[in-house]
Amino acid sequence: MNFDADLNRQSQDQGRSSGRQSGSSLRIPPHNSEAERSVLGAILVQNEAYYRVVEVGLEPRDFYREAHSKIFETLSYLAGRGEPVDLVTLTSSLRDRNWYESIGGTAALTSLFEDAFAVSNVAHYARIIRDKALLRRMIDTTAEIAGDAFEGVEDIEAFMDEAERKVFSVSDVKLTKSFASMQSVLVENMHLIEELSAKKEIVTGLPTGFHDFDRLTNGLHPGQLIIIAGRPAMGKTSLVLSLAQNAAVGHHAVVAVFSLEMSKEELGFKFLSGLSRIDSKRLKIGRLADRDWPRLAQAADQLSKSKIFIDDSGDLTVMDMRARCRRLQSAEKKVDLIIVDYLQLMKGSKAASKGDGSREREISEISRNLKALAKELKVPIIALSQLNRGLENRQDKRPMPSDLRESGAIEQDADMVGFVYRDEVYNKDTEDRGVAELIIGKHRAGETGTIRLAWLAEYTLFANLASDSPGTPVPQGRPDRGDVGL
């Protein structure tokens, strides 16, 4: 078999490795040529083996030997076109690509049949290849990070974030899941039902502190992507901060807040004002009465003991968030809720940004990746979103899903879509002053409806309406029904 190209690659790999090692010892990167030949041979012997390999997530780049990579890429091309995969079709396709001689010709392909072991083990061999490929990519990535470190670093925090992003990107491998039997699915269902029955709790997810919302949704659940949208000045940020505060202070949740618009200091003032019930304007200029200081101290103490973590970096990608949330999960052992303020300020991948230059395409990728991140981390993600200006021209300015700005994919990817509406923004003489509507326009797992909340403008806070008088905001300075800050 002609492995000139492979030997050249080994030489290059050894050269890179030697630069990272003391002494003259050389190391060949992790690989398993026998497993590579066995997988290729199994596919030629029995075409069905190809689909077992695909389920593992194997790609041409995972093969160490260039000849094997070219052969697998050609096999994938034939299988994708629905053509039979055998020695004749493979030879023809390799010749069409001018790869036949470089992979070793007839002798190389014939030897693959000889190395085809039990086809039933092909998935195991494929996992070996994939794992070795991950190790090689990790070696290259850490070598790159080490090289950057030797060259000197001006901003250590930015360097560490980028290094972490690179390391996590290595493990960002798409593993195609196979079918799960109904029996295994039902076993998980029954375990969950038994746990919920034992707890005897009405709200099965993470409580938000908004009673009507929790009754409608059963709380926030792992893997959900929740979109909260509204026009400017409706209080989108204040709503999710009120929710985050109640989840963290009232229910000991670990909450990660990514604020791409407001600074962490601004968010800190909002949290303090809401929990202490001190006018936010007076708080920002330090005009406090004697009676305010004990309430401020108590609020600061409660917030400092809570598990709210704020990242106010700009130009974040979903990959950046993924790396930082994994780090937080490692430090805190869990993350219960992720909040993104707001989706349109996030940055898409380079591929999405290039493409046709469409911002809609970029937003679609971001929303899709946020949903994937929620599933991967098993955490509910709340992302704020802007709305189109078009609704301003309607008589009834209550938002609907079609008003979501820049992408219909946001509605498609979301498990729940809620809209914040305050009638007093448009109608100064409304009877609903101090009242906000949270309109659930989409709810994949349950009912839709409208939840009425109190809007306490001086504290930039949303709260439950008083239970004894529907439509009447909670009296100032008194949390409703014992909820912390709400």
**Enzyme catalytic residues:** 261
At position 110, the amino acid (one-letter code) is: T
Q: How many residues does the chain have?
A: 486
- In this structure, the number of other CB atoms found within 10 A of the CB of residue 205 comes to 17
Which tokens in the block code for residue 128?
Answer: 């070996």
C-alpha distances in Å from residue 469, one per residue of 401, 436, 454:
31, 15, 12
- In this structure, the number of other CB atoms found within 10 A of the CB of residue 31 comes to 22
Distance, C-alpha 385 to centroid of its chain: 16
C-alpha distances in Å from residue 168, one per residue of 161, 192, 254, 322, 478:
11, 31, 22, 8, 45
**Pairing mode of beta strands 435-443, 307-311:** unpaired
Q: Facing residues of 311 across strands?
A: 258
Phi and psi torsions of 385, nearest 5°: -140, 150
